[in-house]
Chains A and B, each alone.
Chain A
Amino acid sequence: MNPRLDMDRIIDDRRTRIIVCCGSGGVGKTTAAAAIGLRAAERGRQVCVLTVDPARRLAQSMGLTSLDNTPRLVEGVFDAAGGSLHAMMLDMKRTFDEVVEAHADPARAAQILANPFYQSLSSSFAGTQEYMAMEKLGQLRRSDEWDLIVVDTPPSRSALDFLDAPERLGRFLDGRLIRVLASPVRAGRPFTKVLNAGLTVMTGALTKLLGAQVLRDAQTFITAFDTMFGGFRERAEATYRLLQAPGTSFLVVAAPEPDALREASYFVERLDEERMPLAGLILNRVHSSPGTKLSAARSLAAAETLEGMTGDYAVAAAALRLHAERMNLGERERRVSGAFMSAHPAVPVAEIMALPTDVHDLAGLRRIGESLALAG
């Protein structure tokens, strides 16, 4: 039996400075992050929730109406314990622009920002969002304005993307390949003998595929960006270390479904490899039946009995069938999550019951926070 995840102990511990909610898409990560942030604020912490892509109504419930890359105070939070809640939505392009502006003189920054290659990199490269989420987290942490930052990771294809993408982007920008490949198009610079035949073929293939213009834009970008590489890499490494620091807690969020739990499993193993501190698993949207333990089989049998009798039993029979379905679903979920738990017996777990309706106000977030704490 896995230990229970004690959410209140984590958020009440002043040494906890960062909580990262991760997991595959569609499992309720953003809602969980918001609920944890709200609960921590109402228990006296100065909290900032950094979110990437919230549902419209959830965003509205926290007063986030615009994507302006700045933390905004959330109104309606109970402040009796002296805490507060800020929330912000990430604008990845603007964050990237700010990094460039902070590291280059104005003329060079303007040159970089106008480069077509930079524009595609900053708005559509598969790792940029993850990289910028981590960059923003680092900024918020360094500002020291909040004593707890709750971050919701980007809705990646895989839960692991956000750990890998910053490094991938950093490696790419700082890569030897990009420099060597870009160098032949540098004006007036002849091919040297050092460049082997393979590389020539490669440049040829790239020019065929992409056209010379793209390579030229990349080269201009690299030249302008050159002085920034060191700073760029340092920042990425600092953020990575921050994630390994004792003040950071990772929460893996999953729904009790095979795909989500498989991702969660990969993630738990990966965090362990990277020596990143896993606080536990939040199993979201679990179906159970708190009021009665009546089994699915007995429930269905009773429904059939009632349907065979004369009398006005339709509602009771329907309720019994509904209950049987719910018990079956809960049983399947337990089987699926049981496999995860046997594979990771030391990971603390908290379950959040499935709600019949969506969450779109602070009261709803508060209820989720409560059920999360009660589960521990």
Chain B
Amino acid sequence: MTARDTDWEGVRLHVVTGKGGTGKTTVAAALALALAHGGRKVLLIEAEGRQGIARLFDRPPLPYEERRIAIGLGEASDGRDPGGDVYALAIDPEGALLDYLKMFYNMRSAGVALTKLGLVDFATTIAPGLADVLVTGKATEAARRRRPGGGYVYDSVVLDAPPTGRVGRFLNVTAEVSGLAKVGPIRAHADTVANVIKSPQTAVHFVSTLEEMPVQETLDGIAELRGIAGMQVGGIVINMARPAVLSREELKVAPDVPGMARALAAAGLHSTDMLAAALAEELAEHARHVELQDRERAELEAAGQPIYELPMIAEGIDLAALHRLAAELRDQGAA
């Protein structure tokens, strides 16, 4: 195992949130791959029952069960470090409730019968915080679980959490169940969960694209978490960034269309006047887009958290693309 400096030394539970459409699940998966180096074992948890992880890794829907789904990113290209293992778990409130009943009351079979009667739906409806406590409870349990020998079962746990707009409530479990029994098992359970989530062992990372609304939600989300004592805000992952094709200075200059037409002719292309005009327009659009991205990036930077930037992958996300993103995250110090 090689020792490397990462920005999140000591963090065992990585919570990943982001606005819908920003690629939160993709980033969570890439982070899990990046963390699974040098033989480390990482658990990637999906909290919202969408089976996004199964789709990303091209697998059939995941059951409520920890399963090995991928090999992590190795450190060396010569094969000396083949990478660790990424396990995945799709949590649904129903499974988590049964798990809880089994663990604390040894009443799993009764639980299954209760599920048929609609108990889970009922319980989570009249106590909306309950489902969240059960899901975060499962994630923290996995992060703290130990082998018989004493070491941790998982070196890291990555939780693909609900979207930014909901994440504060999702993680602030003690406040969520304050309406429930003041004492009692769920309350005690929530306190245990909160001890892990509001500790240096947990970091909450935000995924954003360089667009107005995701950036605003990210900043709002960070402010919200900073208002909850003990919660550690992690990094900001800028996803699907389009790198500038020219320097900022070059982009500021309006393209010289006749000059471009001559260049295109030199490259052996035809109808170069029309082509040059079209390409110049595309370049000008790109310049406006880069300017907008820069403005949004500056807003994110002002939040003062470490920033990682992942490129747009035009071909779509497959396992190879996930490895590429994982390598980016590792090279930038996120894992």
Contact = CB atoms under 8 A, between A and B. Distances in A.
Mutual binders A and B: yes
B245 A318 contact: yes
B263 A316 contact: yes
A243 B184 CA distance: 45
A56 B111 CA distance: 45
B127 A214 contact: yes
B198 interface: no
A289 B250 contact: no
Given A260-B21, A289-B278, A292-B279, A205 B212 contact: no
A343 interface: no
Contacts of B289: 356-357
Interface in A198-255: 198-199, 201-202, 205-206, 208-215, 218, 255
B117 A198 contact: yes
Interface string B120-135: 0111011111100000
A124 interface: yes
Given A294-B275, A318-B283, A319-B282, A26 B266 contact: no
A86 interface: no
Contacts of A289: 278, 282
Contact of B126 (A202, A210, A325, A332): A210
A116 B266 CA distance: 75
B39 to A, nearest CB: 33
Interface stretch (B7-15, B74-82, B145-153, B175-183): B175-183
B302 interface: no
Contact of A56 (B125, B216, B259, B268): B216
Nearest to B111: A205
A26 B114 contact: no
Interface in A335-374: 336, 356-358, 360
B238 to A, nearest CB: 15
B316 interface: yes
B282 A210 contact: no
Contacts of A322: 245, 279, 282-283, 286
Contacts of A318: 245-246, 250, 283
B226 interface: no
A306 B272 CA distance: 14
B255 A315 contact: yes
Interface in A76-135: 116-117, 120-121, 124-126
Interface string B290-331: 001000000000000000000010111000000000000000
Which bucket holds chain A's interface residue count? 35 or more
B169 A325 contact: no
B279 A319 contact: yes
Contacts of A302: 264, 267-269
A72 interface: no
B282 A323 contact: yes
Given A178-B122, A258-B316, A55 B275 contact: no
B179 A292 contact: no
Nearest to A126: B128
Given A206-B123, A311-B266, A323-B279, A201 B114 contact: yes
A205 B184 CA distance: 12
Contacts of A1: none
A362 to B, nearest CB: 17
A358 B296 CA distance: 11
B277 to A, nearest CB: 7
Interface in B198-249: 211-214, 216, 245-246
Contacts, number: 203
B294 to A, nearest CB: 12
Contacts of B280: 319
A53 B220 CA distance: 14
Nearest to A208: B185
Interface string B9-36: 0000000000111100000000000000
Contacts of A121: 126
A190 interface: no
A4 interface: no
A336 B113 CA distance: 42
A320 B216 contact: no
A155 B283 contact: no
Given A218-B126, A332-B315, A315 B260 contact: yes
Given A205-B107, A208-B105, A315 B283 contact: yes
A261 interface: no
Nearest to B126: A218
A312 B263 CA distance: 8
Contacts of B256: 315
A57 B295 CA distance: 15
A124 B279 CA distance: 50
Contact of B212 (A177, A305, A317, A360): A360
B165 interface: yes
Contact of B50 (A117, A158, A313): A158
Contacts of A316: 259-260, 263-264, 267, 276, 279
Nearest to B121: A172
Nearest to A262: B55
A326 B282 contact: yes
B50 A157 contact: yes
B68 interface: no
A292 B266 contact: no
A303 B114 CA distance: 66
A360 B123 CA distance: 42
A202 B119 contact: yes
Contacts of A332: 314-316
A260 to B, nearest CB: 7
B272 to A, nearest CB: 10
- Residue among A25, A26, A298, A317 with the highest chain B CB neighbour number at 10 A: A26
List 6 A-B pairs, minimum CB-CB distance, nearest first. A26-B21, A291-B278, A211-B181, A25-B20, A316-B263, A302-B267
11 contacts: A24-B20, A25-B21, A124-B129, A126-B128, A177-B118, A319-B245, A332-B314, A332-B315, A336-B316, A356-B289, A357-B288
Given A26-B22, A332-B314, 6 more contacts: A155-B20, A205-B119, A209-B127, A213-B180, A313-B267, A322-B283
